[in-house]
A and B are shown apart, each in its own frame.
Chain A
Amino acid sequence: MDNKQGMSLIVKTVTGWMKGFIFLYGIYIIIFGHLTPGGGFPGGVIIAGTFILITLAFGKEYALGKMGKILASELDSIGALLFLLIASAGIYFGGRFFLNFIEKTHPTGNFNLFSAGIIPLCQISIGIKVGASLFMVFIILAVVRVVIVDGKGKLITTEKKGEK
């Protein structure tokens, strides 16, 4: 399967229209995670799905230009560190790890978007992490192959040499 030029013109046009909506839907599922089913994990998977769709339709150079390997790795770490920072801020404000300090100090009503304390912030950081790491897994498995030369010097796979 030759990913260098992407797919046909119809697929490219329709994907160009749809990718914004799919990304927005992923963000909607993440942000409303404390009110409706979903949350960080499924929302992150949908965001990764957006980038995978772009890779399949347009080819890998375009997709790697949008979010390259290094940016995905950095976003992965930033998502996890943000989650840990929010959990540790509970120690600073209230004395317990993971304390819902926003809800204790500024209680808002239920069923609103800005309610339930730290939970939407945790969902956002999980969503960033899951999306970035799934896209990185997809890139490393399917797009960047490793050059292997066996004992007799025969090249088995091509493409540029990647990391693990």
Chain B
Amino acid sequence: MTNLSLFVAIPLGMAFFIPMVSRKIKWFPDIFGNLTTFLLLLLSLKTIGTETTYQMGNWSAPFGIVLVLDGLSCLLLIIINLIGFMATLFSVEYIGKLYTSKLRYYSLFLLMIAGMNGLVLTGDLFNLFVFMEIAAISSYGLVGFGCQAKELEASFKYLVMGSIGSSFVLFAIALIYGRTGTLNMADIARVIHIMPFDNLIYFSFVLLLVGFLIKAAIVPFHSWLPDAHPSAPAPISAMLSGVVIKTLGIYVITRMTYNIFGFNNLISNILIYSGVISMIIGVIMALIQWDFKRLLAYHSISQMGYVIVGLGLGTPLGILGGLFHLFNHSLFKSLLFLDSGSIEYETGTRDLNKMGNLVKKMPVTSFSTLIGSLSISGIPPFNGFWSKLIIILAAVEVGRPIIALWAVIGSILTLSSFSKVQRYAFFGKGEKFEKEKWENYKEVPSLMQVPLLILSILCIVGGFLAVEGTNGIFAPVIKVLTGGVLPYIAKVLRF
């Protein structure tokens, strides 16, 4: 699989082809949207275990744009395309019932996937900025998709904070270009490690870090996330929480710190402290929520804190823990958001007080929410347990047991928060429970149940990836990241 440009070209082409054709043919967006994401999923599964670079237009590395595929990009490609396929399967029925115009939805959705695929594959700094903007602008439009008052307010807040982050990133790119004279990421790494680290490089790194931490919703910069993720349609919430904050935030921070600037003690401390604060504040704010999706959004902040702590520790065990938790979180968080979508499809509300006793009427949704809740709380043998265990062990191994203590406290509070969800929504009754409407609820259509069941199965067996499949997906990633700067330069600039 050497033609990496297909990951960007296919969704981009379909995103512009769908509005043209589907004025006349009504079933076109559904079928072709799902076929596109399924094709992308198959292509991304083919890339496991390979490492290639692809030069666009036959211009070699420092002069042209190269697309780089290594272990980290492969992991993120699988995450993006898997959750994308699940979300498009879910949106066939969901968007048809609750929103108006399907062709614009699929067009923006495929543009977002094209932007994110391009972002994880590129090896050029300005190209990364352009793809980040493509994905971000599509997501700003998708958050405010139903044009109600609350959704527009959330979309505007997300837009302003995202644009401020992007401006910081562009300023940092300008400073780096002015200092090093090149835009290729491997070339920048080569030049930075020849010259001494002066204040300008530190300043640009701080600007980059702030810009991408805004996109990843880590705690001083998280305030757009609790408004934006609930207001979006449910498959878009699943994509945003499960994929976008990971690629636009965590992937780029990882690439910058490990492969370009070099990992040292200062960066490690910044990441660990912001991660620990995110863990605790996210889960404390989630305890007081009564809106189901807002609760899930605060839990996203908390789990991203776990990932940043794992990546900030710097040891191979810490990196494994952090990235494995990234993978698991995308699985169970998108499962939980799709569950909230199916509850909203059937009952029309997101308020936990108004739901009740759903386990009798909606068995598949209850089963998958139960699995998702157990996974996120870290109950063995589901996948959340293994990744949190690896992070805690890594923290103890480095010699910082306080971090492990905070991680355990966060996990306990997560469990209590999801017990609240289970008690009010599924197994008990909320306080404003309406019995007449409850009689008419039935299970969601079967096409919407398929992604829920697939993601539940992946949550159950995902724990085994830590033990059995480490040689398949995670070992190349750890090799890429712990190798540091020099193997990355050698790999990209040799081609």
CA gap between A88 and B6 in the complex, in Å: 9
Is the beta-carbon distance between B12 and A84 smaller than 8 angstroms? Answer: yes
Residues of B within 8 A of A100 (CB): 57
Contact: B13 with A84, CB < 8 Å?
yes
- What sequence of 0s and 1s flags, for each residue 59-101 of chain B, a beta carbon within 8 Å of any chain A beta carbon? 0000000000000000000000000000000000000000001
Separation in Å of the A164 CB from the closest CB of chain B?
7
Contacts of A80 in B (CB 8 A): 12, 16
Which residues of the other chain, B, contact A98 by a CB distance below 8 angstroms?
5, 56-57
Question: Once the chains bind, are A84 and B56 in contact (CB under 8 Å)?
Answer: no
For B8, the closest partner residue in chain A by CB is A97
Among A90, A94, A99, A164, the residue within 8 A (CB) of B101 is A164
Chain B's closest residue to A84 (CB) is: B13
Main secondary structure of the interface of A (DSSP, over half): helix
A163 touches B20 (CB 8 A): no
Q: Chain B: interface secondary structure?
A: helix
- Which of A73, A88, A90 contacts B57, CB < 8 Å? A90
Task: Output the residue of A87, A90, A97 with the most chain B CB within 10 A.
Answer: A97
Query: What residues of chain A lie closer than 8 Å to B5, measured between beta carbons?
Result: 91, 97-98
B264 beta carbon closer than 8 Å to chain A: no
Residues of B within 8 A of A61 (CB): none
A-side contacts of B56, CB under 8 Å: 96-98
Contact partners of B104 in chain A: CB under 8 A:
164
A97–B20 touching, CB < 8 Å: no
Any A CB within 8 A of the CB of B3? yes
Q: List A residues 58-108 near B (Cβ within 8 Å).
A: 70, 73-74, 76-78, 80-81, 84, 87-88, 90-91, 94, 96-100
- Name the residue of chain B whose CB is nearest to the CB of A79: B16
Contact B17 A81 (CB under 8 A): yes
A22 to B58, CA, bound (A): 38
A81 partner residues in chain B, CB cutoff 8 A: 13, 16-17, 20
Given A100-B57, A164-B101, are A91 and B3 also a contact pair (CB < 8 Å)? yes
Nearest CB on A from B199, distance (A): 36
Q: Which residues of B contact A (CB under 8 A)?
A: 3, 5, 9, 12-13, 16-17, 19-20, 23, 54-58, 101, 104, 147
Q: Which residues of A contact B (CB under 8 A)?
A: 70, 73-74, 76-78, 80-81, 84, 87-88, 90-91, 94, 96-100, 163-164
> Can you report 7 A-B residue pairs in the complex whose CB atoms are below 8 A from each other?
A74-B20, A76-B16, A77-B16, A77-B19, A91-B3, A164-B101, A164-B147
> Across chains A and B, which 6 residue pairs bring their CB atoms closest together, nearest first?
A97-B5, A98-B57, A80-B16, A77-B20, A77-B16, A96-B58
